[in-house]
C-alpha cells in the first residue's frame, strides 16, 4: 500500500516536472526561433540601424514655378556604444573646430533622456547638424579615425524667391515635445514649423527608410543583415502645387513696403488663394539652418511683429467694406428694397445720437448708398431691423437673426484655411450685449452696421466677402494648396457654402460696387480693360484711420477677389484702392502697363510713419548691403562708360584736326615716324 502511494506521488511529481519543462521549452522556442523581434532585440549590439531620410516634397506656384526645393546637408551622428573609450577627443575637436567643453556638453545632452527622449546607446544620435561645407570636406577624410561617428546625408529647404514667407513657413529641428507627440521623429529630425510646411507636414515629409547593418565584435560594418531582408526604402514626400501666383505675391509685398497691413486675393470660383501678403515680411532665405535661431529672435523682438501673418491673424474693424453684407441682409429680410430711401444729413442723427458721414445727396437709395459709402443709410437699416416688432418678436431675436446672416457669410468663425493660426474675428450676438450692457437698444449698436464697434474681421474674411459677392451668394473655403501630387484634395475645399442672402440682393450689391468704381469712392480703380467692382473702407481706431479696399474683377465671370488693409493709411481711396487696382491688373493682364509700373514704384516708396523705431535685422542689413553694392557697381560702370565715350570723342576730334591740316596744303610734309609712334601710344592710353 505504501509502495503504491509512493509510486503515485512520484508519477505526479514527474508529470508536473515534465509539464513545467515542456512549457519552458515551448516558450523558449517561440522567443528564439519564431520571434524575430526577440532575436533583433537580443542581438541589438550586433546591429546598426542606419536611417535613410526621404527627400521632402517640393512646392510650386499655380503656374508650376518652383518656390521651395531641397539642397543637401550633412549631419554628424554618433553611436555611443561604439565610441566609448576609443576616441581621440583632442584630434576630434580640432577636426570639427569645436572646443572640448562643447564636446562634453553635447555628449551629456545626448544621454539626457529629458532632452533626448529617444536615446539608445545602440542607435545613431545627432551630434552636430548641418556641418559647414569646408569642415565637412576636411572631416570626411579623417572620419575613419573616429569610431562610432557617421555622416548622415539630409536635405534642407531652399527658396527660389524671397517672397511668400508667411504662406510657405519654414522647417527646423524637432523639439522634445514634438518627439513625444509623434514617434516618427527622433532628435535631429526636421519638422515644418510654420505655414504650409506645418499644415502639410505629413504629406511633405515622406517616409523614412532604414538599413539594418551587421557588425563584428570590433563594431566594424560587415554588410546588410540577412542580405537586406529587414531594410526599408525611403519614400519621398509628396509635392505640393499652390494656388499662389508668385509674381502677384511679389508685387503685393513690393507695394506694401514701409506699411503695416495685409493683402489677400482669392479666385472666386475655386477658393484658391492667389496671394497672401503680410507686411512687414521677411526673406525666407534667412530662416534656413543655423541662421534660423538668430533671425527668429530678431523678428520676434521687432515691435512691428513681422512673424505675425496679418492676413489670417490680424483682426480689424472692416469699416465700410462691411456695408455690402448689410445691404444683402436688409434686402433679403425685407427691411429695404432697391428703392427704399433713407435720409443722411451728413450722417445718422436720431434721439441725440450722431454717426457722421461725408457730404452727398439725401435721401438716398440702395445702389447710390454703396457708391457713395453712406453711413446714414446703413445705420438706419440696422436700426429699423432691430426695432421691427412685426417681423421679430424681441430685440434679441432681431439681433440674432442679423448675426446668423453674418455667420453664413463666413464671419465670426474660422473659415478653415489650410494655414495654422487663423483667427475667427468677432461678430456679437444678443447674449454678448446682454452680458456687456444689461439693458440696450438698437440705437446702442448701430455702429456695427458700418463695420465699427464690436465687429472685427481678418483680411481673409474681407477678401472672402468679395469672393462671395462675385459668386452672387456663395463661397468655397479658401485654401492655399491647389493640388497634392498623387493624392486628392480634401473635399471641403470643393464644397459651396451658400449664405442666407438672396441672389437678387447680391445682384444689387454688385451694381452698387460697380457704381462706386464708375463715379464713387473707388473711381481711381476704374479701367477700360475690364469691369471692376469695389468698395472702400475707412476704419476708425485710436490713431489714424485704417485704409481698406474690397473688390473683384471682371464684374461678370470674375477671376480675382481682393482685400487690401493698410494700418493707419487714412481713407480707403488713399492706399487701399490704388494697391487693389494694381494687383488686379497684374493678375488679369499678367503684367503692369508702363504707367501702372510707375504708379507701383511710387506706391512702393510711400511709407507710413508709425510710432516705434524698428531695429534693423541682420536680414535687412544684408539686403541693404546688397542693394548698396549693386548701386555702387552700377555707378562705377556708368562712370567708366562716360569716360570711355569722352576719350573716344577726343580721339575723333584729334583725327578731324589732323585731316584738316593735311587738306590745307599739299606742300605740308606727311607725319613722320616718331610722331606716328607717339599718336599710337596716346590712342592705346585712351583705350586703356
Q: Give the chain's domain count.
A: 2
- When pLDDT is averaged across residues 73-94 and rounded to a whole number, the result is 80
pLDDT at position 648 is 67
Q: What is the mean pLDDT of the chain?
A: 86
Whether 14 is covered by a domain: the verdict is no
End-to-end CA distance of the chain, in Å?
132
Name the percent of the chain lying above pLDDT 90.
59
Characterise 431 by phi-psi region: left (phi > 0), alpha (psi -120 to 50), beta (else).
alpha
Are residues 268 and 231 located together in one domain of the fold?
A: no
Q: Beta 209-215 vs 47-52: how paired, if at all?
A: antiparallel
Give the whole-angstrom CA distance, residue 203 versus residue 57: 8
The C-alpha cell that represents 142 in the structure block: 579623417
Query: What does the block give as the cell for 292?
Result: 534660423
* In a shared domain, residues 202 and 280: no
Does residue 618 carry a pLDDT above 60?
A: no
Query: What whole-number distance in Å separates Cα of residue 634 and Cα of residue 560?
Result: 38
- Residue 221 phi/psi, 5° resolution? -70, 130
**Averaged pLDDT, 67-85:** 83
pLDDT digits (tens, 9 = 90+) for 235-263: 999 999 999 999 999 999 999 999 999 99
**Pair 195, 290 in one domain:** no
pLDDT at 12: 76
Instruction: Enumerate the β-bridge partners of residue 538.
Output: 547
Structural domain harbouring 495: 246-296+307-604
**More confident call, 22 vs 316:** 316
* pLDDT (mean) for 482-505: 96
Q: Answer yes or no: is 682 within a domain.
A: no
- Rounded CA-CA distance 459/318 in Å is 8
For 417-459, write each residue's pLDDT tens digit.
999 999 999 999 999 999 999 999 999 999 999 999 999 999 9
Alpha carbons 366 and 164: distance in angstroms, whole number: 39
Residue 637 pLDDT grade (very low, low, confident, very high; cuts 50, 70, 90): low
Most confident segment among 102-116, 303-317, 351-365: 303-317
Q: Domain end: 604, 620, 640, which one?
A: 604
Are 257 and 235 found together in one domain?
A: no
List the Cα angle 647/651/657 in 5-degree steps. 145
Identify the pLDDT of residue 649: 67
The answer to the question of residue 89 being in a domain is yes
Choose one of 222, 242, 262: the last residue of a domain. Answer: 242
The tens digit of pLDDT for each residue in 381-416 reads 999 999 999 999 999 999 999 999 999 999 999 999
Q: Are residues 583 and 536 in the same domain?
A: yes
Burial classification of residue 176, based on how many CB atoms lie within 10 Å of its CB (0-12 exposed, 13-18 middle, 19 or more buried):
middle
* 37 belongs to a structural domain: no
Q: Do 370 and 514 touch, CB atoms closer than 8 A?
A: no
Q: Answer yes or no: do 165 and 313 share one domain.
A: no
Q: What DSSP character marks residue 228? A: G
Beta bridge partners of 209: 52
| Percent of the chain residues past pLDDT 70, beyond the cut | 83
Shared domain for 85 and 212, answered yes or no, is: yes
**Same domain, yes or no, for 93 and 214?**
yes
Residue 660's pLDDT is 55
Query: Checking phi first, is residue 83 left (phi over 0); if not, alpha (psi -120 to 50) or beta?
Result: alpha
Of 604, 624, 649, the position where a domain reaches its end is: 604
| 686 has a pLDDT exceeding 50 | no
Q: Is residue 571 part of a domain?
A: yes
- Does residue 6 lie within any of the structural domains? no
Instruction: Indicate the SS3 state at residue 66.
Output: strand
Q: In this structure, is residue 179 part of a structural domain?
A: yes
- Give Cβ neighbours of residue 495 (< 8 Å, ≥ 6 apart): 476, 477
Do 481 and 341 share a structural domain?
A: yes
Range of lowest pLDDT (77-86, 149-158, 273-282, 414-423): 77-86
**Torsion-angle region of 453 (φ positive above 0: left; ψ -120 to 50: alpha; else: beta):** left
Domain annotation covers residue 282:
yes
CATH number, domain with residue 439? 3.40.710.10
User: Which CATH number do you get for residue 96?
Assistant: 3.90.1310.10
Which cell numbers hold the place of 641?
562708360
d(CA 16, CA 623): 84
Same domain, 112 and 171: yes
Q: What is the residue-wise DSSP string for 446-499?
A: GGGGGT-TT-BB-HHHHHHHHHHHHTTSEEE--BSEEEETTBPPPGGGT-EEE-
State residue 292's pLDDT score. 83
Same domain, yes or no: 365 and 401 = yes
Q: Are residues 196 and 280 in the same domain?
A: no
Amino acid at each position: 500500500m505504501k509502495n503504491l502511494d509512493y509510486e503515485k506521488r512520484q508519477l505526479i511529481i514527474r508529470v508536473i516536472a515534465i509539464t513545467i519543462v515542456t512549457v519552458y521549452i515551448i516558450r523558449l522556442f517561440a522567443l528564439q526561433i519564431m520571434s524575430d523581434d526577440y532575436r533583433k532585440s537580443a542581438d541589438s549590439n550586433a546591429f546598426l540601424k542606419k536611417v535613410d531620410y526621404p527627400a521632402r516634397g517640393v512646392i510650386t506656384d499655380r503656374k508650376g514655378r518652383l518656390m521651395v526645393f531641397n539642397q543637401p546637408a550633412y549631419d554628424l551622428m554618433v553611436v555611443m556604444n561604439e565610441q566609448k573609450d576609443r576616441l581621440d577627443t583632442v584630434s576630434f575637436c580640432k577636426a570639427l573646430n569645436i572646443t572640448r567643453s562643447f564636446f562634453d556638453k553635447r555628449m551629456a545632452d545626448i544621454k539626457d533622456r529629458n532632452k533626448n527622449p529617444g536615446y539608445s546607446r545602440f542607435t545613431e544620435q545627432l551630434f552636430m547638424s548641418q556641418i559647414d561645407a569646408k569642415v565637412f570636406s576636411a572631416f570626411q577624410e579623417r572620419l575613419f579615425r573616429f569610431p562610432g561617428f557617421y555622416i548622415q546625408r539630409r536635405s534642407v529647404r531652399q527658396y527660389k524667391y524671397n517672397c511668400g514667407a508667411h504662406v510657405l513657413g519654414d522647417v527646423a529641428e524637432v523639439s522634445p515635445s514634438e518627439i513625444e507627440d509623434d514617434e516618427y521623429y527622433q532628435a535631429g529630425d526636421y519638422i515644418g514649423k510654420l505655414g504650409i510646411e506645418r499644415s502639410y507636414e505629413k504629406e511633405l515629409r515622406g517616409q523614412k527608410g532604414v538599413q539594418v547593418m551587421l557588425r563584428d565584435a570590433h563594431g566594424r560594418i560587415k554588410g546588410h543583415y540577412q542580405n537586406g531582408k529587414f531594410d526599408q526604402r525611403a519614400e519621398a514626400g509628396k509635392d505640393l502645387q499652390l494656388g499662389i501666383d508668385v509674381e502677384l505675391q511679389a508685387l503685393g509685398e513690393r507695394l506694401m513696403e514701409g506699411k503695416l497691413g495685409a493683402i489677400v486675393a482669392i479666385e472666386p470660383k475655386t477658393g484658391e488663394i492667389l496671394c497672401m501678403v503680410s507686411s512687414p515680411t521677411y526673406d525666407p532665405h534667412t530662416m534656413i539652418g543655423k541662421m534660423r535661431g538668430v533671425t527668429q529672435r530678431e523678428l520676434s523682438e521687432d515691435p512691428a511683429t513681422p512673424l505675425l501673418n496679418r492676413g489670417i491673424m490680424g483682426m480689424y474693424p472692416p469699416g465700410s467694406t462691411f456695408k455690402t453684407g448689410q445691404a444683402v441682409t436688409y434686402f433679403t429680410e425685407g427691411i429695404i428694397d432697391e428703392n427704399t430711401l433713407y435720409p443722411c444729413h451728413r450722417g445718422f442723427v436720431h434721439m441725440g445720437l450722431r454717426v457722421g458721414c461725408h457730404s452727398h445727396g439725401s435721401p438716398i437709395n440702395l445702389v447710390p448708398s454703396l457708391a457713395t459709402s453712406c453711413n446714414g443709410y446703413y445705420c438706419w437699416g440696422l436700426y429699423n431691423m432691430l426695432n421691427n416688432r412685426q417681423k421679430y418678436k424681441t430685440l434679441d431675436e432681431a439681433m440674432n437673426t442679423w448675426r446668423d446672416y453674418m455667420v453664413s457669410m463666413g464671419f465670426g468663425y474660422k473659415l478653415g484655411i489650410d494655414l495654422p493660426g487663423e483667427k475667427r474675428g468677432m461678430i456679437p450676438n444678443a447674449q454678448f450685449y446682454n452680458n456687456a450692457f444689461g439693458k440696450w437698444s438698437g440705437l446702442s449698436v448701430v455702429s456695427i452696421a458700418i463695420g465699427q464697434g464690436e465687429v472685427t474681421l481678418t483680411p481673409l474674411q474681407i477678401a472672402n466677402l468679395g469672393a462671395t459677392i462675385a459668386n452672387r451668394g456663395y463661397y468655397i473655403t479658401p485654401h492655399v494648396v491647389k493640388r497634392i501630387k498623387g493624392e486628392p484634395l480634401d473635399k471641403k475645399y470643393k464644397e459651396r457654402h451658400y449664405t442666407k442672402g438672396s441672389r437678387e440682393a447680391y445682384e444689387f450689391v454688385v451694381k452698387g460696387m460697380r457704381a462706386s468704381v464708375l463715379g464713387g469712392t473707388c473711381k481711381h480703380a476704374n479701367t477700360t480693360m475690364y469691369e471692376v467692382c469695389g468698395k472702400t473702407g475707412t476704419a476708425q481706431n485710436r490713431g489714424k484711420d485704417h485704409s481698406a479696399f474690397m473688390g473683384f474683377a471682371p464684374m461678370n465671370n470674375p477671376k480675382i477677389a481682393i482685400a487690401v488693409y493698410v494700418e493707419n493709411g487714412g481713407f480707403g481711396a488713399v492706399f487701399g484702392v490704388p494697391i487693389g487696382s494694381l494687383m488686379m491688373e497684374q493678375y488679369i493682364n499678367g503684367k503692369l502697363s508702363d504707367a501702372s509700373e510707375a504708379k507701383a514704384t511710387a506706391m512702393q516708396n510711400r511709407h507710413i510713419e508709425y510710432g516705434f523705431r524698428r531695429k534693423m535685422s541682420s536680414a535687412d542689413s544684408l539686403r541693404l548691403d546688397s542693394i548698396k553694392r549693386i548701386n555702387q557697381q552700377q555707378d562705377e560702370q556708368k562712370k567708366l562708360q562716360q569716360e570711355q565715350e569722352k576719350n573716344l570723342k577726343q580721339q575723333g576730334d584729334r583725327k578731324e584736326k589732323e585731316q584738316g591740316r593735311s587738306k590745307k596744303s599739299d606742300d605740308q610734309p606727311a607725319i613722320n615716324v616718331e610722331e606716328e609712334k607717339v599718336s599710337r601710344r596716346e590712342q592705346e592710353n585712351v583705350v586703356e
